[in-house]
Each structure stands twice: as C-alpha cells, then as structure tokens.
Chain A
Amino acid sequence: MTQTKAESNWINATIKEIRYVSQTMLGIKAVFEESPFPAFEPGQHFDIRLTSENGYQAQRSYSAASASSQNEYLEFGIDVLPDGEVSGYLATLKPDDKFEIRGPIGRHFIWNPGNAKETILIGGGSGVVPLFSMIREYSAARVQDKLTFINSFRTVRDIPWQDELENLAQENQNLDLYTTITRESRVSERYHSGRINREILNKALEKYNLETAAVYICGSNSFVEAVSQSLLDLGAAFHNIKTERYG
C-alpha cells in the first residue's frame, strides 16, 4: 500500500468511556495521553483510522459531539451501521483501547457562541451529532442569543443524549427544542410526528427572523435538500444556510 501521508498528522486516542447513547449510536469519549488535546470548533469533524494486523487501513470521518471549550475528553457520536467496517469494529472496543484520529477538519460548518443573535440548528438522525457540539458549547457559554434545535428521528429510541438535551433546554429559556418522530405513530406528547416540512418549520420558528438567522442543517442528502428548500420558501437567506450532507 502506498503510504505518502505524513504520519505525524495522526494521534492516538484512548477510550475513556464507550456506551450506546441511542438505539444505534455509540458515544465514545476519548482522551489523549500521548499528545495535546486536539482543539476544535463546534461542527468540525475528525478522521478515524483503523489499521489491521496485515496493514490494511480504513478511514472514516466523524463529527465531534462534545463542547469545544471542555478538553477533558473529545466525544464522538458514531452510528453503528449493520455492515459498517469501521463503526462495527469501534463498537467492539472497551475503555483503554486506542484508535488513531486526525483533525479537526473543515472550517465551513462551524458555529461559535456570539456568531449570531438567532441560530437555527436542524438535524435528522445521526446528522444531529455536530449540532450537539454547538448546543453544548452554546449552553456552556451562557450567552443570551436565541437558539432553536429542530430534530427528526425515526423512533424515540433513536434520540441520542436525550435526558441531557431536555435538561439543557429546561435550564435555558433561550434554547428551544422541537423533536419530531417519523416512523412511530403513537408517541408521547413531548414529541411531534411526521417529517420536517414547511408547516413544522413555520410553527417552530415563528419567533425567528428567517432573513437574518444563522441556519445549520445536517443529515442525509434528501433530508438536507427538503429542509433547505422549505426554509428558502419561507424566506431564509441562501447564504445564511450552511449544510452538511452524508450519503
């Protein structure tokens, strides 16, 4: 195998805690014993690389989920896919096991406290992971700016870090949550049901000025496409919408 990349880009992460944070999402908290903590901004991602005993390597990108201002650990939210070469292996790891990372990567889909008076975060499924980093950072910074997190999951059991999220919203009246469930018909009244559409957005964002709000959308391509088109229809400004898509 050709190995041209500077090996110094990769650092060892040691697992401090590993557990499922939703039905399919693995939360991995990593610490760095041999190198400095890799400082990042909310929304950025890291590459994780695995190397087999015979030298085969696989890399995938995963967004950071933890707040960027705390450097006790770096948390990833990793959707464990049925045939996932990398995610499937990560799911077998235990505390003190190691894996390689490099990053942070990408300086577009990033948000920092103070960036906007009004921020709208919209995520579908595992697309909520980078948005969690933003929400955690927003909560830690205790700014007065408004933030709404609109999120969509197939079932209630797919919502990661659910208790923490509800606690954060309860503590902060400027943080609004709007969760919708798409594949379960009878859900508790804490949740809405159906896919995110114009009506839902209109209702959830009635207190927001869509022409000036900063918007971050992350999820599957079809999700991002549908949501961003609906927001444009409702008057959001094209260049205030940042997207991150997968698959």
Chain B
Amino acid sequence: MLINKGFKPKRRQSDTDRDRLPPGQYLTDDFPVLSLGPTPEVSKDKWKLRVWGLCEETSLSWENLMKLPASNITKDIHCVTKWSKYDTNWKGVWLDEIIRLANVDDTASFLIAHSADGYTTNIPIDDVTDKKALIAYEYDGEDIEAGHGGPVRLVVPHLYFWKSAKWLDGLEFVAEDQPGFWEERGYHNYGDPWLEQRYDTD
C-alpha cells in the first residue's frame, strides 16, 4: 500500500463514525442524486406496482398501497459513489407484505426490482424479507421527490443504495439470479458496504 506523505484527514473521524461509517465512505449532509438518464415522470394516480414470476401475479395501485400497514424506519444509507448519510427516515410498506399478498413461492430465490425508466436490480430473497426492504413512499415525512425516486421507491438500507431501485414499478420473483443494470456494467452482484463490495472484482 502506498503512503501519501503529508496527507491528513480534513475532518477528524469520531469514534461513532468508526463504527458507523463503512470502509471508503465519507459522511454527507446532502442527499446527492445519481441516475442513468432523465427523471421519468410517474404520477401517483397512474402508478402501478406489477408483481410477477414465482407468485400469484398481481398489481397494486397507489390506493391499494395506502391501505397496507405502513412502517417508519430511520436508517443510514451508503452510496457506492462513496457518500453515506445517517438517519434517513422513510415511510412505506415492508416487502414482506407483498410477498404474503402475492403468495410468493418458496422456490423464489431472487427479487428483480424494476423501475419506470427500465432500470433493474437483483437482490437475494433473504435480503428483502424479515423487514429488511421497504416499499417507500415518504421521505422525512413528505412525498418522495421525483429526483429521489418518487412516488415509490425501494429502500434496502443494508446494501449499497443502487439496490434501492427508484421509481419502482415491478417486483419479479425468480429462482435463478439475473444481474441487473449496474450489476451487468461492472458493479458488484451483492453490494455489502461493510465488505466494500463496490465493483465486480471486489
């Protein structure tokens, strides 16, 4: 490892940061926006969540989603571009609810999340069950802004944030893994920030 003589941290890391900030990340108070193209226009009244694959095919409207039990979570999030943000607050429906509603089969091993802009991302089923993944529709008590994936986005805070698909409009349950958009373009297939699984050679 190369040592850069004279290089010093600008901000002293607190003891909390050492436990809370995954390797290679820095803390930000902003909420940067990253996406592969223009922001798609998705309105609440036209929004639909299609659920298909190894389950009973179903579709939820905004109204349907509002009727499901809601949960609030406050979690740290970590972007592969190296920023982390502490204590982000989201309201939404646990993915467990959808799995129950659509009677997802035991043979489903992966979730492929689909977005309105054509984006996809793959997540093992064990990482979206037992209250690990939220179908979020509020950020910090407000509607989620379009730039941040509103009206509805996935939030899977324990993985790098590209797994938390914006403009969520499809949940596909499959038996075999299918790398998604970034996973096919050089990013890690799983994306654990604590193991610094950023790119496909990590």
Contacts and interface: CB of A to CB of B under 8 A. Distances in A.
A2 B20 CA distance: 12
Contacts of A57: 23-24
B82 interface: yes
A82 B23 CA distance: 24
A83 B10 CA distance: 8
Contacts of A225: 33, 38-39, 147
B3 A52 contact: yes
A4 B2 CA distance: 17
Given A3-B23, A89-B6, 17 more contacts: A1-B23, A49-B24, A51-B7, A52-B3, A56-B8, A58-B9, A58-B26, A61-B81, A85-B9, A85-B10, A85-B26, A100-B2, A107-B184, A107-B185, A109-B36, A221-B33, A246-B32
A108 B181 CA distance: 9
Interface stretch (B61-69, B96-104, B194-202): B194-202
B106 interface: no
Interface residues of A, number: 49
A239 B39 contact: no
Contacts of B81: 61
Main secondary structure of the interface of B (DSSP, over half): loop
A99 B2 contact: yes
A228 B41 CA distance: 12
A102 B4 CA distance: 16
14 contacts: A1-B23, A2-B196, A4-B195, A9-B201, A52-B3, A53-B5, A53-B7, A89-B7, A108-B181, A221-B33, A225-B39, A225-B147, A232-B38, A238-B117
Interface residues of B, number: 43
B166 to A, nearest CB: 13
Contacts of B181: 108
B32 A6 contact: no
A242 interface: yes
Contact of A239 (B1, B37, B194): B37
Contacts, number: 114
A100 B24 CA distance: 14
A61 B32 contact: no
A247 interface: yes
B141 interface: no
Given A61-B82, A225-B39, A245-B34, A52 B24 contact: no
Contacts of B24: 5, 49, 57, 59
Contacts of A10: 1
A247 B83 CA distance: 10
